[in-house]
Amino acid sequence: MDKKRIAVLVSGGGTNLEALLNAQEAGKLPHGEIVLVCASSEGAYALERARNHGVPATVVARRAMSQSAFETALNIKLAAYRVDVIILAGFLSILSEEFVSRWPDRILNVHPSLIPAFCGKGMYGLRVHEAALARGVKVTGATVHLVNEIPDGGRILLQKTVEVLPEDTAETLQRRVMEQAEWILLPQAAEMVCRGVAEEEA
């Protein structure tokens, strides 16, 4: 079977990337294969994780260039590796409408809340969990969605709830949401999208 070629875009530590790589090695991505990890900064530990799993890792430094130059460089890398599907895993750069429109229903992102709660521009990382705690919600969770031109605005693929505990800090809540939701949902959604693309092209 012709596996769909996945690029994972990262900006930081790469815990979600690790979950994807582990799922792939456990046979949970039968329709997909991670062929490239691309970081937006050279210091991203995710690059080390990729290399530890034998996956090509590269950098397109966002700070060094304009949005259009960054996306042009990104597209060149994606074309060189013949990528079919893009996964944003802790990728902190907003992609332009022009870029996203070239990948209809082929880009997915994980967000650490139950969209439409605590999402949109500027809502990422610990900020999301701080907002959830400040609001006093009793459950939160994670969402995997397709990416369109609106931050966190694309069609929802999967969601999973996580309980908020009375003693939670933003850090403890972040960790629980990753362990109980993000690391489970992201590989499932990756397989779902790759299978859909494979069936579409069959």
Catalytic residues: 111
Q: How far is CA 64 from the centre of its chain?
A: 22
C-beta of residue 128 within 8 angstroms of C-beta of residue 98: no
Q: Please say whether the dihedral angle defined by the alpha carbons of residues 34, 53, 143 and 130, taken in this order, is positive or negative.
A: negative
| H-helix segments, 82-182 | 97-101, 126-135, 170-177
Q: How far apart are CA 22 and CA 18, in angstroms?
A: 6
Number of CB atoms found within 10 A of residue 21's CB: 22
How many angstroms separate the CA atoms of 202 and 199, rounded?
5
